[in-house]
């Protein structure tokens, strides 16, 4: 089986920084952003051999491991592994799947366009299709935030994940307890 997904990168127009805890938890955050015609892509191909293969073609990196090996010793592939582990655990009853996950992002990490968050969103979207997981756009954005910010420890706010998930031109509100309102 082959599954493909795409998610847009974003430009922050106003309010950047108000989506970061603890500010938004105390005062509420308000952000205006728009997605652009640059994207992150993910392709999942299930395999008949007992391996898990992660390829980041834009970064020219690849990791191939046995399906039964420990997945914790590969920090350079933290986002790929964290998404894989989360989706397999929650939506495939913890049963690992032999697959190749190939990703590509049209902008480098650190570009200010939300590339790492968009990468997480697009991988989740591909796994949602693969596992037929019952996640809506809010669920996908919240899960992407959890994986990137909490599981992998990358710093940042919430607008990137929501922009990549919802797309378009949006006014976003962020509050305590991970409450978010997206106004297209």
pLDDT at 73: 80
Distance CA 3, CA 50 (A): 19
Label residue 18 left, alpha or beta by phi (over 0 means left) and psi (-120 to 50 means alpha).
Answer: alpha
Distance CA 175, CA 89 (A): 28
Q: Which two tokens stand for residue 40?
A: 């992150």
Q: How far is CA 84 from CA 13, 37, 72, 95, 180, in A?
A: 32, 27, 12, 11, 25
Residues 139-156, mean pLDDT to the nearest whole number: 96
Q: Which of 165, 157, 163 is nearest to 24 (CA)?
A: 157
Residues 40-53 have pLDDT tens digits of: 999 999 999 999 99
What does pTM read for this prediction?
0.96
pLDDT at 126: 99
CATH assignment of 2-10+39-157, among 3.50.50.60, 3.30.200.20, 3.20.20.70, 3.30.230.10:
3.30.230.10
Determine contact, residues 125/7, Cβ cutoff 8 Å.
yes
Q: Which two tokens stand for residue 32?
A: 């205006």
Distance CA 119, CA 77 (A): 12
How many angstroms separate the most distant Cα atoms in the chain? 51
Q: Where are the domains of the chain?
A: 2-10+39-157
**Residues assigned a catalytic role:** 160
Q: Which two tokens stand for residue 34?
A: 């728009």
Residues 59-104 have pLDDT tens digits of: 999 999 999 999 888 888 999 999 999 999 999 999 999 999 999 9
């Amino acid at each position: 089986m082959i599954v493909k997904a795409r998610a847009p990168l974003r430009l922050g127009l106003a309010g950047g920084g108000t989506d970061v805890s603890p500010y938004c938890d105390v005062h509420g955050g308000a952000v205006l952003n728009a997605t652009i015609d640059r994207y992150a892509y993910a392709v999942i191909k299930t395999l008949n051999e007992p391996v898990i293969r992660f390829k980041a073609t834009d970064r020219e990196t690849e990791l191939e491991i046995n399906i039964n090996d420990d997945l914790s010793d590969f920090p350079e592939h933290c986002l790929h592994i964290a998404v894989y582990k989360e989706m397999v655990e929650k939506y495939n009853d913890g049963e690992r799947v032999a697959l190749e996950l190939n990703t590509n992002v049209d902008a480098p990490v650190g570009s200010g366009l939300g590339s790492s968050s968009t990468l997480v969103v697009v991988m989740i979207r591909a796994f949602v299709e693969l596992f037929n997981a019952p996640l809506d756009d809010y669920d996908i954005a919240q899960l992407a935030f959890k994986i990137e910010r909490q599981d992998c420890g990358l710093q940042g706010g919430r607008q990137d994940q929501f922009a990549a998930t919802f797309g378009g031109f949006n006014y976003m509100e962020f509050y305590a307890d991970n409450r978010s309102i997206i106004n297209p």
